[in-house]
Structures are given as C-alpha cells and as structure tokens.
Amino acid sequence: MTERRSGIICIDKPAGISSAGVVARVKRALGAGRVGHAGTLDPDATGLLIVLINGATRVASYAADGAKVYSGEIRLGVTTTTDDLSGEVMTTSDVHHDFLAVAAQAARFVGSSMQTPPKVSAKKVGGKRAYKLQREGQEFELAAREVHVTSFDLHPTEDSQTVRYLVEVSPGTYVRSLARDLGEQLGCGAAVKSIRREASGYFGLDRAVAMDAVSWEAVMDWGELVPNLPRISVSDEVAMGLTSGQQRALIAAWQECNWIERNAKLVIYSRAGSPDPLGILKVEPGGGFSFELNVAR
C-alpha cells in the first residue's frame, strides 16, 4: 500500500501557515501514518520545507544538516520585539547610511561568530519554548551559539530604508538575528521584512511543489538526503532480517556485498530489484556491518 512508503517531499511553503500546519496537510493528503519536517520555517516565511514521510522521519537529523540559503528584505531604522516586522516596534530612527556602507558592514558578518537567537524562536528555556515565554511576557535570556555565514549579499531597492538580501548560512543560524545584529552595528537598528528559504542542503526550490500539488508521485527517495553514501542491495531474505534487526543478517549482508567504496563509513541498503532504500548500515573498521538507522521498521 502506498501509504506505507517512506520518502520525502519538498514543499514550497506559502506565508500564513506554520511548518506544523504544512505537516498536518501533507499527512491528510497522503494518508500517511507518520509525517515530520526538517528545519522549521516561521508562519510568515515562505520557501523550501523538507517534509519526511513515514520511516523517513527517522532521517530528520540528516535532513536538517547542510547549508541553508535565504532571500528577502531587511528594513533599516527599526527594532522590534521579534526582530521582524510582525513584532511590536521598540525604536525607530532615520537612516543616513549610503548603500555601500551598509553592504560593507554586512560583509563583516561573513565567517564564524556567536549569535543570540530571537526571543520568539523555538529554543527551549527551562523546558519551555522561548516564543511561549515571550508571549507570556516573562523575562529570560537565550545563550549565544556559534554560527557560520558563508555569504551575506545585499542589493539596494527604491526605498533607501530597505535592502534585499541573499545569505548562505550554517544550520541553526537565524536570519532575523542577522538583520538585528546588522542594525546594531550600523547604529540605526534593523528587522527582517521577509524571509524565503531558497535551498537546504542538497535541495533547492526547483525540487519543491505547491501545497495543492502534494501527491505520492511527488514523494522522493529519502536516500537523496545523503546522496554521497554508497548503496548496496541484498536478497529478500537478508533484507527481511535487517529490517527485523537480526544480527545474523548483518553477516549475510556483508557476505552478499561484492564491493564497497573505499573508506566508506556508512552505506544505504535496499532489497534487490527495488529502488526504495530500507536503512543505513555502518561499516566497521575491521570489516562487517552494524546497524546505523532502520527506516523500514
């Protein structure tokens, strides 16, 4: 039955719906048992959201890995409680910087640095989400974490207080914080006006479908999350043993595997004659396999 398949589907998320809301709609549309996502997008944000179907939800850590690319606009001369324009305005100021000065300041963020997440983020403080504490009016502080900015390019607009941006950042980097910190460095304040995720890891918007186009035909092989891993196929009997977690099946799989890429540490396995991957095996230094991730169970 198709509803038992495991895979991924890339969604071009529209504004006005949460990532959890997208997951719920995909689950209903496909009739899938389990659905999750990799890398939350704010309700106001748009763009690429990788949705994991059934057993592929176990591959979430792999899906969340890899660089992220975002585009949108930043408003200069304003600070808000949420570091974007949806929040309460705290300060405003006239902007007297020319564009070249703003772009030069943005370039200084390229590289590794410590970044404090927005207070409306999903980070947990004492077991509770930061955005919930913010809504309740509670005082709290979030710990800074190291992030990496590969590129931070700005382009002018007809409005001197608004700039377009295109950034490539490490996982866990907040564009809202980047805009806030840019405003602090300029001395005028800044907040994000719009956010669109263009790419995540190996996936871009060219692989995404609209919400109304969700179907099993659009579901992809979850192995594409880790395209650099070599693949092996095993017999039906061994595949059944592996998906059942049988240790003896690991020995049989090693015996059936004629060749593995040199220095490979992980391999994806599937049943012979079937393109659907079933899980990931770890290659032991002295030879043989051990279980790394079982998607089919």
Residue partners of 65: CB distance under 8 A and separation at least 6: 171, 201
What is the residue-averaged pLDDT of the chain?
91
Q: Do 68-195 and 2-60+202-220 have the same topology in CATH?
A: yes
> Are the C-beta atoms of 45 and 13 separated by less than 8 Å?
yes
CATH number belonging to the domain at 68-195, selected among 3.40.50.300, 3.10.20.30, 3.40.309.10, 3.30.2350.10: 3.30.2350.10
- Over residues 235-250, mean pLDDT: 95
- pLDDT of res. 142: 80
Arch. (CATH architecture) of 2-60+202-220: 2-Layer Sandwich (3.30)
Asked whether residue 3 carries a pLDDT value surpassing 70, the answer given is no
Please report, for residues 107, 209, 235, 260, the alpha-carbon distance to residue 41 in angstroms, rounded to integers and kept in the order given: 25, 16, 41, 38
Asked whether residue 1 carries a pLDDT value surpassing 70, the answer given is no
Residue partners of 118: CB distance under 8 A and separation at least 6: 82, 83, 84, 130, 174, 176, 177, 180
SS3 call for 190:
strand
- Over residues 84-94, mean pLDDT: 92
Higher pLDDT: 59 or 123? It is 59
Instruction: Count CA atoms within 13 Å of residue 198 on its CB side.
Output: 11
pLDDT (tens digit, 9 = 90+) per residue, 19-42? 999 999 999 999 999 999 988 898
- Residue 53, sorted as left (phi over 0), alpha (psi -120 to 50) or beta, turns out to be beta
Asked whether residue 123 carries a pLDDT value surpassing 90, the answer given is no
Asked whether residue 95 carries a pLDDT value surpassing 70, the answer given is yes
**SS3 annotation, 63-83:** HCCCCEEEEEEEEECEEECCC
Asked whether residue 11 carries a pLDDT value surpassing 60, the answer given is yes
Torsion of Cα atoms, 124 then 125 then 126 then 132, to 10°:
-80
Residue of 12, 42, 159, 236 marked catalytic: 42
Measure the CA angle with vertex 177, ends 68 and 10; round to 5°: 30
Domain positions in the chain are: 2-60+202-220, 68-195, 231-294
- Over residues 255-259, mean pLDDT: 85
Q: Note if 42 is an active site residue.
A: yes
